[in-house]
Structure 1
């Protein structure tokens, strides 16, 4: 940041000694040291906070990409399950049922359906 060498610092110290005198120079040095320490601590905290924010943002992006991947896989799996269910339904249903359910054959399908038993079931013997 600043390119201050030892010779520049020594020159500033000599000028401060001449201007302020030996009585007030130690107090000024302590105050300057305290302020510079507080400035360093502030910068350290600011840097740490910025790093935390960057990490949080990266984690959010990772979570969002993982959620997107899960949603995509769920959609693919749902589509595959629907296809398998449709295929299973087609393979189980006999061809005769498909023909009897055509618009013209609905009445024939209803007539050929088994009739419910009119007698009530008997209670089991104890």
Structure 2
């Protein structure tokens, strides 16, 4: 559309800043953006309307005819290629012979072997995954000996037989006050 480089846009921005002023500059850019958006929308609508009118009037058929007339060799080769593709597809479908019984049994054995190998591969993968998961699982750390002993339940000792009650010693006679006074002297 317009051939504006960075220097031209910078110059336009500086002039707009001087003329409009820094206060009104964002509002102006917003209005310019809306105007450009509306212009692009109108151009898009016009383009779609023209394409619809061209399709309705058969311009595509004329365009194809002109293309074929401009390059007749290419258009002829395209037609030959289309017809040969359809013929080769038809021939492949009709020429493929059915398999003999021997070939069918061989094919069945191959399918069975493939299924067997697939199941064994899946089993091996599952074993590898479990081994990997076990290896990645955190192992419990050994507790220090003191903590391990404290945490371990202590075995209960067998109940001791009760000893016979001890005989009480005879009470000492109380000293008389006279004796206590003599002791002090």
The normalised TM-score by structure 2 is 0.31
As a proportion of its length, which structure holds more helix? 1
The normalised TM-score by structure 1 is 0.46
Pick 1 or 2: higher relative contact order, CA cutoff 8 A, min separation 6. 1
